[in-house]
Structure 1
Amino acid sequence: MKNFKSIYIVLITLVATLGGLLFGYDTAVISGAEGSLQRYFSAGMDISSLTHGLTVSSALIGCIIGGLLSGYFSTRIGRKYTLILAASLFLLSALGSAYPEFLFFTAGEPTYGLLVIFNIYRIIGGIGVGLASAVSPMYIGEIAPSHLRGRLVSLNQFAIIFGMLVVYFVNWGIARGQTVTWIDDIGWRYMFASEAIPAFLFLVLLFTVPETPRYLASKNRNEEALAILMKIYDKTMAKATLYEINQSFDSKKGKLFSFGVTVIAVGILLSVFQQFVGINVALYYAPRIFESMGAARDASMFQTIIMGLVNVIFTVIAIATVDKFGRKPLLIIGSIGMTVGMFGVAGMAYANVIGIGTLIFIIIYTASFMMSWGPIVWVLISEIFPNKIRGQAVALAVAAQWAANYFISSTYPMMMEYSGGLTYTFYGVMSILSALFVWKFVPETKGKSLEQLEMRLKRNAKEEHFNKYSVK
């Protein structure tokens, strides 16, 4: 019976993590297509590096919107149906980005209007990413038992990285052996269209999973919540868990800062640091970085695959250790590794030496991120916010993350034109600051139920209030 319950939890988690896979797939598909897009649209108009950077990053505008809307939708229609909405947006974006000329434009004739429509389709996909990035880990965190929560939520990050790895293979397979002209005319369309397959699979499978018991309890649907909890725990534990959940909803809906400012600030800064260390620059522009090292077009995509494999391996390390070593130690160790990697890349850039050393430092950097800040931030965001404000707080943290991502990704081409060494030095400094932030402000959440973490926050909020208004 216990094995059956474990299998049930894992199967539900795997369906939810398809949202993470599509998150990774959608954000990384641009890495193989961005050079071709620039050449395709430049054939009909003058495209500046800033315009190209904004086009490459346009999906992130949607991610910010989706992140902000995730709290509203996850609270009003539930975690499950918000993910169904996200899957539908992924599917629409994949098909629209592949053939943006549909209905309104002529294929092969790039215009400013076509560029706008292409960006709209990418923004639609970004809204799906924003919804999924907030709600997939929230869904898993609300379903998973406390002793498995770190590993199961980390599976979402594994799915993100696996989605990136899959699309690296897909992009490489599409480009392999083809002429640059063919890739610039047709190949990039196949890259975007390929996302329709996992998007459709995600949409169908979501109809087979339940809503989370914590959402159901928040809507006074306790019988349904108990039925799901009994598939996860034994009868006694299921009833005790439902009682604990209902106790956390014992008053009116909580205001965003009803548990203090600190927990909200920590969630937002975790999200911002995750992006300001520069990870998505390495992911979005990986083929271009490797091309600058002297690799041919298809060879640069192959080197990206190698980096993707490293990412998967080190994400597995995080999954295996997050519930043993805790969240804080992994974050600090990862920050140290990222600092070494980024300062190494910066040093090579300052010395104008591009070669295997650059690849090694990039791998050190990305491996350090993937065993720490990649999965652990999502785990913490799904854990640290109390039930009554989780939807609002996660939405704010995720929106801040995507805003930071957009800023870093869209400014990268312009920064590189000024100074590559200075650009990578900035990311290295951010890595140092991220370690200091975790050491000073981030709580350890290993092994505690969501409701136990909430009780600790209540005590901290009372102390914060007392210290603010006490007479000195």
Structure 2
Amino acid sequence: MSSYKINAFTYALIVALGGFIFGLDAALISGTVKFITEEFNLNSMQLGIVVGSPSIGVLLALFFTGSACNSLGRRKTLQIIASLYLISAIASALAPSYWSLVAARFLGGLAFSSISVASMYIGEIAPPQWRGKLVSMTQINIVLGLSAAYFINYSIIQLTSSDAAWVTSLGIKQYTWRWMLGSEIVPAFLWLILLFFIPRSPSWLVYNGKTEEAKNTLRKIIPEAEINVQIEEMIQSMQSGNQDQSLVSQLKQIFSKPMRNTFIIAMTIAIAQQATGINAILFYAPTVFEQIGGGTDAAFVQSIWVGLTSIVFTVLGLVLVDKLGRRPLIIWGMAWIILSLGICFYGFKTARYTLTPTSITELTSINNAERLQTIAGKEYGSDIEFKKALEESLGEADARKYSSQLIQKAADINAVLILFGILSFIAAFHFSVGPVMWVLFSEIFPIAIRGIAIPFFTLITSIVSMLVQVFFPEQLATMGISYTLLFYAITVAIGLVILYYYLIETKNMTIEEIQLKLQKK
């Protein structure tokens, strides 16, 4: 491997580590849901707020990310983001109350813009033939972070059943969820240190008139003979755009007629990626798996399978994105997602829930379990009907506390089919629209406006993500798991139709060539 390629991969890997922190931060909360619900006595909306508060935070951050990227530079912005992750992890682990936990996670959400900035930076230092792979490294790190979070949560849960002296002395049993959230501190600190070793983006340097410094950076990642050509293409790309560099002017250009096709592609994929419901599955993984009836321990084990599936298919997508192209992965991947969600819908829709008198007598851990005798032997056709019956028998607090255990006893459900559908959905997302959206974002915007455009469309996808996370517990309580998944499938199908007609192929093309192709279309 040439020194140019080694340098490009090294810089991309360091920046892409932000994806690992993002995945870790996002998924660690999945293991804490049960514990923080009990400790702070949360209802479904309060739970949705604490889980979704980072997505609310990123909405605010993305209003300033574009300006920060243009004025401070991509590297400095990434360093600020890493600092926010670190502060948030410490504050979350030490949070004394519900609202302080929401505030700490909101602060971490300000750092969730790391994904858009990382894609921007990597897209600007990557040679065209490697761009797909290098930008996709962020997604690889996201799923590694997700997997690490599930494994950490499972390990901490296992430690709570240990009587070892060091487990007791560290308060792991007493502060289970705090240890889960605090595990992010070390990797966040390491990422912050590594970001001081990457160069500034050559596109940003040209954008700010620092051409010689841009050439010095390019000498590290491409041969000398190609440097002047690259610089000239960057200058032409800037000159072809609006020379007014104000925020308002760049936003107007995003909505202008020459950018119409780009706008439709970016807006559609920004909405469709999160409308799949991916973050409902990832951030509430144990909660979703408890609906299958396996109990809490089984739910944490199955969450690890989600992480492993994510890794395998993200790597596969990374290998194929520059061979098969962006369009086939997006189109066929979204069709695969719809099919997978359909399988899950069928599995949950055909489930039945019945508590027998015998099973009720076995529930010795529930205080006054005889309260359930009023629903003994009755069959319920959906999870929502069964949960309502539990609330009537036990009251809202106890029904929420023991729901996992009761579903395990009552569910007559095709767990294998549903588990297959969920893992198939995870595979489809991470093989296609998950990583490829960020590849497209790094390619389809001209240099003159990309510092604003990428954060703008990341803001759109973050709004959808926030809505999914905040309202998922409420959807479970009002629509049930089956119709919630069907809603996601229908939304993705609408996005698929639009992208089928508008999405172009961009593999092996320079950013400037992509602009010409989009404008001609």
Instruction: Mark yes or no: TM-score above 0.5.
Output: yes
Gaps of 5+ in 1: 102-113, 461-472
**Deviations along 1:273-322, whole A, 9 cap, x unmatched?**
00111111110111111222233323321211111101100001110110
Matched residue of 1:57: which SS?
A: helix
Task: Give matches, 1:103-114, under 5 Å.
Answer: 114=97
1:385 aligns with 2:445: yes
Contact between 2:268 and 2:499, CA under 8 Å: does it hold in 1?
Answer: no
Residue 232 of structure 1 deviates from its aligned partner by 1.4
**Deviations along 1:312-339, whole A, 9 cap, x unmatched?**
0000111011011111101111112111
Contact between 2:199 and 2:217, CA under 8 Å: does it hold in 1?
Answer: yes
Matched residue of 1:414: which SS?
A: helix
Name 2:268's counterpart in structure 1. 269
Contact between 2:172 and 2:179, CA under 8 Å: does it hold in 1?
Answer: no
Contact between 1:79 and 1:211, CA under 8 Å: does it hold in 2?
Answer: yes
For 1:118, the aligned partner's letter is L
Name 1:239's counterpart in structure 2. 228
Name 1:120's counterpart in structure 2. 103
Greater Cα offset, 11-20 or 445-454: 445-454
Greater Cα offset, 324-333 or 416-425: 416-425
Name 2:486's counterpart in structure 1. 425
Greater Cα offset, 62-71 or 19-28: 62-71
Distance 1:29 1:76 in 2: 33
Task: Give matches, 1:197-236, under 5 Å.
Answer: 197-236=186-225
Q: 1:90 aligns with which of 82, 85, 90?
A: 85
**Deviations along 1:439-467, whole A, 9 cap, x unmatched?**
1111211111112222334545xxxxxxx
Q: 1:63 aligns with which of 55, 58, 64?
A: 58
Distance 1:359 1:68 in 2: 39
Distance 2:265 2:328 in 1: 16
Distance 1:84 1:61 in 2: 21
**Deviations along 1:111-146, whole A, 9 cap, x unmatched?**
xxx2112111101101101x2011001110000000
Residue 354 of structure 1 deviates from its aligned partner by 4.5
1:161 aligns with 2:143: yes
Residue 183 of structure 1 deviates from its aligned partner by 6.6
Name 2:410's counterpart in structure 1. none
Greater Cα offset, 442-451 or 288-297: 288-297
Name 1:49's counterpart in structure 2. 44
Task: Give matches, 1:27-42, under 5 Å.
Answer: 27-42=26-41
For 1:230, the aligned partner's letter is R
Contact between 2:18 and 2:115, CA under 8 Å: does it hold in 1?
Answer: yes
Matched residue of 2:160: which SS?
A: coil
1:356 aligns with 2:416: yes
Distance 2:442 2:153 in 1: 32
Name 1:191's counterpart in structure 2. 180
**Deviations along 1:215-268, whole A, 9 cap, x unmatched?**
000011111100111111111201110111112222613533344333223212
Contact between 2:49 and 2:102, CA under 8 Å: does it hold in 1?
Answer: no
Residue 29 of structure 1 deviates from its aligned partner by 1.0
After TM superposition, the score normalised by the length of structure 2 is: 0.82
Distance 1:68 1:184 in 2: 40
Q: 2:506 aligns with which of 433, 445, 469?
A: 445
Distance 1:331 1:260 in 2: 21
Greater Cα offset, 244-253 or 446-455: 244-253
For 1:153, the aligned partner's letter is V
For 2:232, the aligned partner's letter is Y
Name 2:431's counterpart in structure 1. 371
After TM superposition, the score normalised by the length of structure 1 is: 0.90
For 2:135, the aligned partner's letter is V
Name 2:361's counterpart in structure 1. none
Q: Structure 2 vs 1, CA of residues 96 and 354 (structure 1 numbering), >3 Å: closer, same or farther?
A: farther
Count of matched residue pairs: 442
Greater Cα offset, 255-264 or 349-358: 255-264
For 2:255, the aligned partner's letter is F
Distance 1:199 1:321 in 2: 30
Name 1:146's counterpart in structure 2. 128
Q: Structure 2 vs 1, CA of residues 425 and 458 (structure 1 numbering), >3 Å: closer, same or farther?
A: closer
**Deviations along 1:404-458, whole A, 9 cap, x unmatched?**
0111111111111222221111112123223212211112111111122223345
Name 1:105's counterpart in structure 2. none
1:311 aligns with 2:372: no
1:248 aligns with 2:237: yes
Distance 2:260 2:330 in 1: 22
1:410 aligns with 2:409: no
Name 2:71's counterpart in structure 1. 76
RMSD of aligned Cα (Å): 1.7
Contact between 1:213 and 1:226, CA under 8 Å: does it hold in 2?
Answer: yes
Matched residue of 1:176: which SS?
A: helix
Distance 1:286 1:459 in 2: 44
Distance 2:505 2:293 in 1: 44
Q: Structure 2 vs 1, CA of residues 184 and 420 (structure 1 numbering), >3 Å: closer, same or farther?
A: farther
Matched residue of 1:325: which SS?
A: coil
Residue 66 of structure 1 deviates from its aligned partner by 2.1
Contact between 1:264 and 1:393, CA under 8 Å: does it hold in 2?
Answer: no
Contact between 1:93 and 1:121, CA under 8 Å: does it hold in 2?
Answer: yes
Distance 1:449 1:35 in 2: 48
Contact between 1:37 and 1:184, CA under 8 Å: does it hold in 2?
Answer: no
Distance 1:458 1:437 in 2: 18
Residue 184 of structure 1 deviates from its aligned partner by 7.4
Contact between 1:36 and 1:184, CA under 8 Å: does it hold in 2?
Answer: no
Distance 1:301 1:86 in 2: 30
Distance 2:312 2:147 in 1: 11
Residue 165 of structure 1 deviates from its aligned partner by 0.6
Residue 179 of structure 1 deviates from its aligned partner by 4.8
Residue 69 of structure 1 deviates from its aligned partner by 2.0
Contact between 2:331 and 2:499, CA under 8 Å: does it hold in 1?
Answer: yes
Contact between 2:37 and 2:43, CA under 8 Å: does it hold in 1?
Answer: no
For 1:194, the aligned partner's letter is S
Name 1:111's counterpart in structure 2. none
Distance 2:63 2:19 in 1: 18
Contact between 1:28 and 1:283, CA under 8 Å: does it hold in 2?
Answer: yes
